[in-house]
Every structure is written in C-alpha cells, then in structure tokens.
Structure 1
Amino acid sequence: MPDTYQYAYYAVDKQLNSLSVYNAGYERCHPGYQWGPGVRDHYLIHHIICGRGCYRMEGREYHLKAGDTFLMFPQVESSYQADEREPWEYAWVGFAGNDAYAMIANTDFSMERPVLCQSDISNGLVARLQAIYSANGNTFQDAVSMTGALYTLMGFLMKHSRGGKKPADVQAVYVERAKQYIAEQYSYPITVEDVACYIGVSRSYLFRLFQGAMHQSPKEYLLEYRIRQACQLLNRADLPVGSIARSVGFEDNLYFSKVFKKYKGCTPSEYRGTQEKDGGVGYAEKEAKATVPLL
C-alpha cells in the first residue's frame, strides 16, 4: 500500500471579489480517511485520479471511482471517505466569489446532482487542476494567474456539460435561490448585499434579475416580505410592536413604522386597531378553540 502523500496551497488573502482560489492541491489518502461531516464556506471540487471512496451530502450517498468528480457546496453539510481497500487519490480546488454560482450553474453540477461521472474528460480535468496549483503564490499577480486557470477549468466543464442549461434557466435559479434565502433569513437584519453574496452574484446583477422576473428591486421584495410577516404577527395582541419589528429584521422601530406605513397606508398600531375592530387580533385562536369537536 503506497504511503499517504499531499501537496497543497492555501490562500492567505482572497484578493479578487469576482472569483478567488481558496485552496488547491493533490492528496493520496490513507485507507478509510474521512473528512466531515462538516460545512465549508466555499465551493470545493474533487476529481478522483485513482482508487475509490464515498461522498455524502444531504442524506444521499455516492460511491465514486477514478474519473469521477464531486462538488461540495458552501454552507451545505457533507462528508467524504476513502475506501478501506482502494483509498482514492484526488486533485482539488476550492473557490468562491461573485461569479462562482454562475460558473457552477452553467455546468452539470447541481444540488440535486453534485457528482459528475465523465471519465472521458478526466485527463483534461487533471491538467487544468494542475495548472491552477502550478500558478500558486500570494502576490496579486499569482492570484490573477490562479483565477485565470480556474476560469479555464470552469470553461472546460461548461464545454463538456451534458445538461444543456439555458441562460434563462440559470437566471430563474438565481431568483428562486434569493427568494428562498430571504424567506429563511428575513428575521435577521440582512441586506440586499447579503442576498447577492449568498447566491454568488453582484448586487447590480441581482437588481437586474429581480427587475426582469419580479418587476421590482430586491430591496422592495425584501421589505414587502418583511411587512407581510409583520402583518401576521400584528394579529397577535400579546406581541409589542417593537418586538414584531425586531422579529422581521428591523432594528429601528421608527424605520419599521415608516416602511410599514409606506406599504400599508397606516402605522403598525393603526393596522392592529383595524384588525381588532374586524375581529382579526386573536380571532384565529378563538375560532380554533370554538371549532374543536367534543369527543
């Protein structure tokens, strides 16, 4: 059994916002070597040169061999493990940036399919991964050279894509991913910049996407979403307006009232008063109790 072996590069500074190489290298793993379960803050491509192993992501398990490639997504729990009898050797590159999501979206990788089984392009992938590592260094020139080699790798993956994704499909994915992030994080003081960063695009590009798909800016969508959630909470008489403001992502009560009035035509307190007159506050709870069947 060959000894374990590794050569690797890890960036000190991520100098390019559009796309930066975080790490790159090659590793010959010992039998049963495992990483994770854990979460990365960047994309990580592994291409298997020889041997076997297993990749796990979101409850799914992929048994992989030489010529296969797997992708780890940022903020998604995953793990991988070398085979006990035929531990794998792989080359890898980790990266992130405003262009990263667009790059991945135009390849055959997806959350539903995080592996590629295309042994016919293995030599091309190995050569391009090696080119990224060979350009390593910590000067700005080195960062540009590594990023250039990374763009070449991504272009190679796009060229050999079998999925036939259209630009419109990719744009729709961006918008849905942004909407999902807002739905999950609206209660925190997130900004449009946070949304753009999460899906891996620039703020200006996110603006164009929302204008095209939603006919409103991402900021307007975020504020409207928060106000809709606030209206639901205002139906609960036990919640102070200040608590509701913080619960939907507003740190300033006055700003919350100003935005609320812009979208609803009245202050939060006035809205609550209207709901009380209409039987809105606590009405759902009362109705639920009144309609519980006697057993």
Structure 2
Amino acid sequence: MTPEHDDYVVSINPSPSDGELAVLFSGEAQPVPLHKMGPTIHDYYLIHTVLSGHGDFTIGGARYRCGTGDSFFIFPGELFSYQADERAPWRYAWFAFNGPGAAAAMEAIGVTPESPVVPGSLNPHLRNAYEQLRRCFEASLGAELSNLEAEGWLRLLLHQLGAARAKNRLSPSAAASSDSDHVVKQALQYLTLQYARPISVSGMASMLGYHRTHLCKLFKQSTGLSPMQYLLRIRMQRAVLLLASDMTIEQVASSVGYGDALYFSKKFRSWSGLSPSEYRKELRKIP
C-alpha cells in the first residue's frame, strides 16, 4: 500500500527476456481520488485496463475520459498523464513490455498514439490473463520458465485487446458478418484438417460450440455446399492424389476417412463416375 493508493500490488520481472516481446512488470491498484501521474514519458509500452470507476488519460495533447472496461495505451517517448476521478476513482490493472517485436504487436492490434484507447475491452478472459501474468514472477520457476509463461499471457492480453479494437471498428451489420465468417472459417479448417477421421455435423458443431442448424445455414450460404458435401469433396480430391501412388485401395480409403473400402469405392464412383481401380487404370494410361 502507498499513500497514493488504497490498494496496490505489482509483480516485477527480475530478469526480462531478450526475445521479441519481454514483460517488465504487471500490477493492479485502487488509486485515491484525483491521484495523478505525469506529465511524463516512459521508455516502454504500458497498458492499463479500467476495472471500475473513471479517470482521464491525456497523450499527444488529446484528453480521453475512460471508464469501466476501457483500456488506454502509453507509448515509449510519448508525453502522457492520467488522473483518477474525484468521486469515482478508477481501479485498474496494467502491464508493461518492450522488445524488438513490440511495435509490430501494436500495429497488429491497430492501436497508435493517435488512437490510444480501446473501449469495452474488459471481459473474463482479459481479466484472467492479467491475474495470471502478475503471478508468473511470484513463483520460483526460474527466469526462463517465468518468461516463457509471461510472454504467453502477454500475447493473449494483446490478442484480447486487438479483438476488442477490431470489434469496436465494425458496424453492427459488419460485426455480424464478421462473426459469420469466423464460424465458417472454423468449420472449413476443421473439415480440412480432420477429414481422415469419422465426422458428423452434430459432432463438429458441438466441438466448435455452435448449434447444428446455425452452423449448416451459415456454411451453405458461404460455400454453396452443406458441410457433408464439402467434406465429401475434400475426401475425394485427396483420394485422387493418393490413387496416383502405390497405396492399396484399402489404404487410400482409410487415409481419407473410410474404414470400409467397399463403401469408399461406392462413394468414389458416385463422385467421379469410375471406381477407384478404374480411375487408377486410367491414370496409368496417361504418358
């Protein structure tokens, strides 16, 4: 506890890594009313997320009113100040970092000194990442392991902040479209990577966390195919490539998700007009 805070805790990294991103420290505090920092500058990146209350943040001559859920960003070499509200002083968590990849990370999440506040960024995942990051240097794991864990939580924090930033920049209709695209991309990736395993639409929907009907509707709108039709196409295209090898029909069938070679042959004939054996013979006629 300090005279300027009703509650204050900070965790310092005693041996920051020399990797792309290095965590310097992380903390959480409840400043007293009208507590002020600055004007001053830092030589590292410092991010605060307001957990409750209000305050004012000033950087580059611009002043921002920040409240619960907002995050404000301090940049190396940029003059800044911030002050807690008189009646409802903010409580905030923070983390500091630097490293050769720090500027690129800021660019990736779309935060700049001209746009240094991300409204509505607080969520359970962000809150948990703050807590876990602060605990990294409390355990006696050694510098290498502590840094490895800390850098992981740092990247998750930046990801959450970047996702909030991106969502804020979308209109409601664009946000809905973006969410739909995300659902479809997840399903496409799942089918592309898991085609060799037994797959059901219900199982895939459950795995991805969506309702079966909702997933099928969005998938059909985006691709023109149902998930199972798309899966069949992936399997058959892969089978075509494998039939050019020396693998047996049974091995090809197993490799594209069919435990029964006869059932695979039936599906392949329906798709291509030829049985796997006939297709392989036709391939070998090609000089």
If the length of structure 2 is used for normalisation, what is the TM-score? 0.53
What code does the residue aligned with 1:104 have? M
Which structure 2 residues correspond to residues 167-246 of structure 1 after superposition, within 5 A?
A: none
Displacement of 1:9: 1.2
Displacement of 1:93: 0.4
- Partner SS state of residue 104, structure 1: helix
Displacement of 1:125: 1.9
Displacement of 1:11: 2.2
Displacement of 1:22: 0.7
Displacement of 1:107: 1.1
**Is this contact kept in 1: 2:29–2:92, CA < 8 A?**
yes
**Is this contact kept in 2: 1:39–1:76, CA < 8 A?**
yes
Structure 2: how far apart are the matches of 1:162 and 1:139? 34
- Partner SS state of residue 155, structure 2: helix
**Is this contact kept in 1: 2:44–2:76, CA < 8 A?**
yes
1:162 is matched with which residue? Answer: 166
Displacement of 1:112: 1.1
**Is this contact kept in 1: 2:51–2:91, CA < 8 A?**
yes
Displacement of 1:163: 7.5
1:111 is matched with which residue? Answer: 113
What code does the residue aligned with 1:27 have? A
Kindly tell me: are residues 83 and 111 of structure 1, through their superposed partners in 2, closer, same or farther at Cα, counting changes over 3 Å?
same
Displacement of 1:102: 1.1
Displacement of 1:25: 0.8
**Is this contact kept in 2: 1:58–1:77, CA < 8 A?**
yes
What code does the residue aligned with 2:162 have? M
Which structure 2 residues correspond to residues 95-134 of structure 1 after superposition, within 5 A?
A: 95-119=97-121, 121-134=122-135
What code does the residue aligned with 2:106 have? I
**Is this contact kept in 1: 2:60–2:113, CA < 8 A?**
no
2:154 is matched with which residue? Answer: 150
Displacement of 1:129: 1.2
**Is this contact kept in 2: 1:107–1:163, CA < 8 A?**
no
Q: Deviations over 1:118-148 (max 9, x none)?
A: 25x4333222111211212562211111111
Please report the RMSD computed on the Cα atoms of aligned residues, expressed in angstroms.
2.0
What code does the residue aligned with 1:142 have? S
**Is this contact kept in 1: 2:119–2:168, CA < 8 A?**
no
Displacement of 1:16: 2.6
1:55 is matched with which residue? Answer: 57
Q: Deviations over 1:141-186 (max 9, x none)?
A: 1111111110121222233432799xxxxxxxxxxxxxxxxxxxxx
Displacement of 1:10: 1.8
Structure 1: how far apart are the matches of 2:164 and 2:83? 27
- Partner SS state of residue 20, structure 2: coil
Kindly tell me: are residues 103 and 150 of structure 1, through their superposed partners in 2, closer, same or farther at Cα, counting changes over 3 Å?
same
Q: Deviations over 1:218-258 (max 9, x none)?
A: xxxxxxxxxxxxxxxxxxxxxxxxxxxxxxxxxxxxxxxxx
Of structures 1 and 2, the larger Rg is shown by 2
1:78 is matched with which residue? Answer: 80
What code does the residue aligned with 1:10 have? I
* 5+ residue gaps, structure 2: 170-287
Displacement of 1:20: 0.6
What code does the residue aligned with 2:36 have? Q
- Partner SS state of residue 36, structure 1: strand
- Partner SS state of residue 123, structure 2: helix
2:259 is matched with which residue? Answer: none
Structure 2: how far apart are the matches of 1:13 and 1:40? 19
Which structure 2 residues correspond to residues 20-31 of structure 1 after superposition, within 5 A?
A: 20-31=22-33
Structure 2: how far apart are the matches of 1:151 and 1:11? 16
Displacement of 1:28: 0.5
Q: Deviations over 1:68-89 (max 9, x none)?
A: 1100001111011101111110
The percentage of aligned residue pairs carrying the same residue is 28
**Is this contact kept in 1: 2:60–2:114, CA < 8 A?**
no
What code does the residue aligned with 1:144 have? L
2:144 is matched with which residue? Answer: 140
- Partner SS state of residue 29, structure 2: strand
